[in-house]
Structure 1
Amino acid sequence: MAERLKIASQGQGLAIVFIHGWGLNSAVWQPCLLQLVDKFQVITVDLPGFGDNHAYSIQAYTLAELAQQVTKAVAKPALYVGWSLGGLVASQIAITQPEQVLGLVTVASSPQFMARDNWPGIKADVLAMFHQQLAEDTEKTISNFLKIQALGSPSIRQDVKCIRDLVMQRQQPQRQVLDAALQILATAQLSEQLSTIQRPFLRLYGQQDSLVPKQVIPLITALAPQSQSYLFKQASHAPFISHQQEFLTVLEDWIAKQFGTAS
């Protein structure tokens, strides 16, 4: 096995690491990176079993291990931007390895994705359905997941096509990896640890997101009062695709305020 995950790095300046979501790969960030590479060092990493790290295996597919593998590959303090599952990984890094984190941005992510008690999120039967579908047809499951991510977006067809065209450029993950990553979404619970994050922390959400519903925003604000949040109107689970220019403006303005980097 390779010693560490492959990463891709472009540009110079503040290092920003982008982490993708479940079932996909780092190619999903390409449209955004084209507009950031002249101002920052942009680093993308495929999680173990995904994209360019398709053949990279780890003994225990856990949130803690993913966080360790990512920081080992990046090997320098950076601003972490994590989408969905990637937001969990980035949050785990900020909680357990704060010396490696200059700042944290989570995109359409939650410290716990599953709906529990009064916590809005993904219903257990939906996760169970995905597990079952994976065993039957991996490609169809990912396709269905893409559609769910874009539900509610006024540009749903374009969003799905854009994401699919981007991620299909890379090797697709095996069912076992998808199952293990799905299990992380089902069991992760970082809520009580969010208050320990002392780095600049920005949370981005989509108003129409069905996977991370907007009702969770005030709950997370209460858990992480030191953080800031922003809601993209009419966006679903991938605001950096459907509202790309607004996403970049919000991100760069926040970076400028936190790090004095010109946008």
Structure 2
Amino acid sequence: MTLHVRRVGERGPDLVFLHGWGLSGRIWEPLASRLKTDFRCHLVDLPGHGESAPGAAGLNNWVDEVVDTIGRPAIYIGWSLGGLVALGAARRHPEQVQGMVLVAMLARFIRESGNDYGMKANAIEATRAGLARDFSTTLSEFLMQQVLGEPGAAKAVRSLRNDLIDQPPALDGLERGLDILFEADFREHLGAINKPCLAVAGARDRIAHPDGMAAMAEQMPQGDFWGIERAAHAPFISHERPFAERLRAFVADVAPIERDS
């Protein structure tokens, strides 16, 4: 299976954008439009999302499919579920990952003994059960939780709803995405992922607590942390301009832009 990828921009370092659960690569389009003069932006539809078929289940299969589809070294920008795929790519295919920007995600999303951050397991299971009863409402409610508390919530809600309405995900893709959120655990591997990494957290995030993200970045050999005040779970939407500027600075350090002489 080959994943569907929108490509924006024709020159500069390659940036791979990985969306969150239930959405598609289209959620990154406004940000990519700011970056397209200097970067080749690859907006990936993860398996079972957007225009990509569900494919094989499991995080490793998703990771391998993304890396194979891109086919070249790149900087990976992963949001929420997409952040787990980016981390997996850096662990399984380090030669293909020049650096990472991990947005509103945790090395372990499930709150449990030894992990004070993330979501309760029963919240994931309730979402899974809701998909069978009322697919549209369950997905919409989950997505709306991601922007609660943001000053730009209205803009974020429009972006999320438009993406959802235009390209609804496959039920198989949603269920497999929930499995990944429930099962993935990178806590024991962070110290071995020696890639430049910027962890970006919204101070008001109710899903990926900023303290958990800061702790994750501290455990990574080349980790850095950026907390955005007044942002929630979608800071690249609510704070698009400063996010783009910080991303440019990160890429300049990792893969400098080559200007024509």
Q: Could you say which TM-score interval applies, normalised by the shorter chain?
A: over 0.9
Aligned residue for 1:227?
Answer: 223
Q: Deviations over 1:138-192 (max 9, x none)?
A: 111111012110112123233212221234332x122232111101101110111
Greater mean deviation of Cα atoms: 212-221 or 126-135: 212-221
Aligned residue for 1:104?
Answer: 100
Matched, 1:6 2:4: yes
> Distance in 2 between the 1:37 and 1:19 partners?
17
Shift of residue 36 of structure 1?
0.6
> Distance in 1 between the 2:18 and 2:213 partners?
21
> Distance in 1 between the 2:128 and 2:163 partners?
24
Shift of residue 88 of structure 1?
0.2
> Distance in 2 between the 1:167 and 1:38 partners?
28
What SS is found at the alignment partner of 2:7? Answer: strand
Show structure 2 runs of 5+ residues with no match: none
Shift of residue 225 of structure 1?
4.2
What amino acid does structure 1 have at the position aligned with 2:15? I
Aligned partner (choices 47, 63, 66) of residue 70 of structure 1: 66
Q: Percent identity?
A: 33
Report how many aligned residue pairs link the two structures: 257
Aligned residue for 2:211?
Answer: 215
Greater mean deviation of Cα atoms: 64-73 or 213-222: 213-222
Aligned partner (choices 249, 254, 259) of residue 250 of structure 2: 254
Give 1:36-55 correspondences, 5 Å limit.
Answer: 36-53=35-52
- When the two chains are superposed, the root-mean-square deviation of aligned CA atoms in Å is 1.6
Question: Are the equivalent residues in 2 in contact too, given 1:195–1:226 (CA < 8 A)?
Answer: no
Question: Structure 1 stretches (4+) deviating beyond 4 angstroms?
Answer: none
Question: Are the equivalent residues in 2 in contact too, given 1:14–1:78 (CA < 8 A)?
Answer: yes
Greater mean deviation of Cα atoms: 21-30 or 161-170: 161-170
> Distance in 1 between the 2:23 and 2:207 partners?
16
TM-score (norm: length of structure 1): 0.93
Q: 1:182 to 1:176 in 2, by over 3 A?
A: same
Q: 1:39 to 1:117 in 2, by over 3 A?
A: same
Q: Deviations over 1:40-89 (max 9, x none)?
A: 01111101111111xx2323x11100000001111111111010000000
Greater mean deviation of Cα atoms: 161-170 or 228-237: 161-170
What SS is found at the alignment partner of 2:100? Answer: strand
Question: Are the equivalent residues in 1 in contact too, given 2:48–2:171 (CA < 8 A)?
Answer: no
Question: Are the equivalent residues in 2 in contact too, given 1:26–1:167 (CA < 8 A)?
Answer: no
Question: Are the equivalent residues in 2 in contact too, given 1:7–1:45 (CA < 8 A)?
Answer: yes
Aligned residue for 1:190?
Answer: 186
Show structure 1 runs of 5+ residues with no match: none
Aligned residue for 1:157?
Answer: 154
Question: Are the equivalent residues in 1 in contact too, given 2:15–2:76 (CA < 8 A)?
Answer: yes
Q: 1:157 to 1:189 in 2, by over 3 A?
A: same
Question: Are the equivalent residues in 2 in contact too, given 1:195–1:223 (CA < 8 A)?
Answer: yes
Aligned partner (choices 145, 148, 159) of residue 148 of structure 1: 145
What amino acid does structure 2 have at the position aligned with 1:249? E
> Distance in 2 between the 1:113 and 1:220 partners?
12
TM-score (norm: length of structure 2): 0.94
Question: Are the equivalent residues in 1 in contact too, given 2:194–2:220 (CA < 8 A)?
Answer: no
Matched, 1:116 2:116: no
Question: Are the equivalent residues in 1 in contact too, given 2:198–2:217 (CA < 8 A)?
Answer: no
Question: Are the equivalent residues in 2 in contact too, given 1:67–1:93 (CA < 8 A)?
Answer: yes
> Distance in 1 between the 2:59 and 2:34 partners?
30
What amino acid does structure 2 have at the position aligned with 1:204? V
